[in-house]
Structures are given as C-alpha cells and as structure tokens.
Amino acid sequence: MSNAKISLNGEEYELPVVVGTEGEVGIDITKFRGAAKAITLDPGYGNTGSCESAITFINGEEGILRYRGYPIEQLADKSSFEEVMYLLIWGELPNEKELATFNAALAEHSDVPHGVKEQLNALPEGIHPMAAVASVTTTLSAFLPTGERDDDIVRLLAKFKGIVAFAYRRLQGQDYIDPDPNKGYIEDFLHMMFGKSDASTIDAFNKLLILHADHEQNCSASTVRMVGSSHANLFATIGAGICALWGPLHGGANQKVIEMLEAIQSDGEDTSVWVEKAKDKTSGFKLMGFGHRVYKNFDPRARIIKKAADDVLSSLGIEDPALDVAKELEQAALEDEFFVARRLYPNVDFYSGIIYRALNIPTDFFTVMFALGRLPGWIAQWRELREDPTSRIHRPRQIYVGHGARDVE
C-alpha cells in the first residue's frame, strides 16, 4: 500500500501506512510533528491507534471478538478461564503440562497476605468496594516485593480472587475463607466468596470471566498501558486500571441495568409502557444494557452469556420481579421492529447484571466482578508493552487554547 499524503501550508508530507493482520489501516504519524511542526487532534483518542497489539481483535460491524486469533465463541465453549488467562498473557493455549504447572502455581500463591487482610479490615465501613480493591492491589508491592515479571503476574492472578472474595465477605460482615488448593480457580473463588458453589454457577462464571477478560484498547486497558509505560510496577499499574474501570461510563454498565430494572419494577407500570418510552426521544428514558459503542451488530458475548444466565436462574429457582422485567425487555428488544432495525440488542452487561443479581451480589460490587474477569487482559496489555523494545513513555500532546503571554500587574 502506498504512503498517505498530507498537505499543510503548501507543503506535502508522506506518511507510512500500517496494515494489520485483519486489514485494518493506520497512518503512522510518528515523525509528522518533527517534519511539519504540527500534531493531529483527536479528543478521546477515538480515531487514534495507540499501539500495535497481538492480543485482541474486534470487528464491531460484524460482531467479531477474538483472543490471539481464537473466536470468543470457541473459547467460551471449550476452554477454562485458566486456559484463557494463559493464552492472553503468554500468547498460546497451554498444553496439558503447562496448564498443570500454571494451576499449581496459582494454588500455591492463592492465600492473601495477612497484612492485606488487615488493611482491608482497617478501611472505613461503607467504603465503595472498588476503592477497597484498588487500594490493596496497589499496595501489594509492599507485601510482595517485586521480582521476576512472570512470577509477579502469577502471584497477582492468584491473590486477586482472594482479595475480591474477602472484600465481598467484609461487606457482609463475614470472615475470610482460606483458599482450597484442590479446587480450580473459579470453584475456589466461589468457595472463598460464598462458602459454596454449584455446577451451573461455576459454568456461568467461567463464561463470564472469559467474556470479560480483554476488550482491546478500552479506557482501563489504555490506562494500564499509560501507567505501565512509566515502568511503574505491576501492582500499581493494575491498581490504576481498576480505578479507570470504576468510572460509571466504563465498568458500571451492568450496575445501571439492575438499577433500571428495579426502577421499572417499583414503578408498577406494565413493561410495555417503558418499551414505548424507550422509543420516544422526548421521554428522557434510555434502556440500559442494550446496544454497544463498539458492536454495531449483536454483541457476540451476549449470545454466549444469555444461556448461562438462563441456566443459573433455572438451577437456583429464582423468583424476582425485577428479573421478570428483564425477560420482558429482552423479548421486546429481540422482536420489536424498532429495536431490531436499530440493532439495539441486549449486550453482555445486560445478562451479567442478571446473573449477579440472581446470586445476591450487591449492585455496587458488580464492577469488582468485572475487574476479576478483566485482570488477565490488563496484565497481557502490560506485559506486551513492557516486552516491546520500541515502547516509550506515553506523552500525548495538546493544542493550547488558554491566554496568550501576559504580565502580572
């Protein structure tokens, strides 16, 4: 492919064109500022490629999501979360021996340091769980002096599930449950969180965590790369990613789904009334958990998690008016021509919120569950950045629009 050309102030500049594996086209502007004394302006970086990455591919128009080339549908159907963690971070699905070694290391390092438990217990009552999890993750380096890169990765993966589980139990006024080295990663997490688990919940969480594991250069992944580019340690860098996810415009979508369902249910009006409000631009009402900024077709993750949500509700025998509302909204969105024509299908946040609600997980804890799934993706992004010999500290430019030079009188 030929170079791209930009004309500016009578001068023409040729810029290299980069083509990705799946045909994405990018214009390399690395040397543009030096040559033209000008920068590109892209608020929010929505049209700017910040890196070349071999981790995750998304085609939003066609509803495609792949990790390291593998379709998300196949991974969710055939792989464990441990295998997907390994794939994202180290680039290939593990063979039997590699998986056994990885699982043994996760089990060996799964207990949470005593000092971390004390830190969690010392935090004020009523603290948001994301604040609790972010703070102790960042300070893990005080309890686990940083060592070899891959050793730090395994220790963080192993201990994070215990941190999440204890943060939940502390909210419930319950004690820490020790990890069980004889259980798999998800079964042990559910054991540490609830003291029990069942097959349908284990299967649902396996799928949920796989589906949430990475999603390309979103806000939190970009934050991890930004902070990691300064060579901050892994624990501090992931703490920054957790804080980015905490924002309601990023990780809080499934919480907003449940808040919407509760509002509709408590209002007492027939669900069809709210469906009509969603169609009316002047109503001020918006359906949460429908459509997606990236996917212009059906969210491929939603197809997978819908069945898991149905299985969990069935196995637990849940009777919840708010979840009945969810079923009615789902049916309307899948059948009503207004939603079908606009491709406003239920997304992964819609179904994940339903599963968390069914398990009596508090809504302000939903984003913590998201962080548990996204952890391996953040780590993969961090590791890829740190292994890239061409990486530099991230330093965006700006267009200054303030006062010109002036004097203090």
Average pLDDT, integer, range 272-277: 89
Question: Which residues fall within 8 angstroms of residue 1, CB to CB, at 6 or more apart?
Answer: 17, 19, 25
Look at the block and give the residue holding tokens 């994301």: 130
Domain definitions of the chain by residue range: 72-250+365-387, 253-358
The pLDDT value recorded for residue 208 is: 92
> Residue 1 pLDDT more than 70?
no
Catalytic residue among 212, 214, 292, 299: 292
320 close to 331: Cβ distance less than 8 angstroms: no
Residue with more model confidence, 110 or 63? 110
| 313 half-sphere exposure, CB direction, 13 A CA radius | 20
Give the pLDDT confidence of 190-228 residue by residue, as tens digits: 999 999 998 989 999 999 999 999 999 999 999 999 999
Q: Which is the CATH superfamily of the domain at 253-358?
A: Cytochrome P450-Terp, domain 2 (1.10.230.10)
- CA separation for the pair 88, 159 (Å, rounded): 18
299 an active-site residue? no
Average pLDDT, integer, range 276-285: 89
Tokens of 393: 């500290």
Catalytic residue among 349, 388, 394, 407: 349
Give the pLDDT confidence of 140-149 residue by residue, as tens digits: 999 987 778 9
> Where does residue 122 rank: exposed (0-12), middle (13-18), buried (19+ CB within 10 A)?
exposed
Closest CA to 399 of 16, 33, 25, 26: 33
> Where does residue 279 rank: exposed (0-12), middle (13-18), buried (19+ CB within 10 A)?
middle
> Residue 320 pLDDT more than 80?
no
Residue with more model confidence, 346 or 167? 167
The verdict on pTM exceeding 0.85 is yes
The pLDDT value recorded for residue 348 is: 84
Q: For the domain 72-250+365-387, what is the CATH code?
A: 1.10.580.10
Give the pLDDT confidence of 149-190 residue by residue, as tens digits: 999 999 999 999 999 999 999 999 999 999 999 999 999 999
Q: For the chain, what is the mean pLDDT?
A: 92
The pLDDT value recorded for residue 183 is: 97
212 an active-site residue? no
Q: What is the band of 326 on the pLDDT scale with cuts at 50, 70, 90?
A: confident
Average pLDDT, integer, range 359-365: 90
240 close to 222: Cβ distance less than 8 angstroms: no
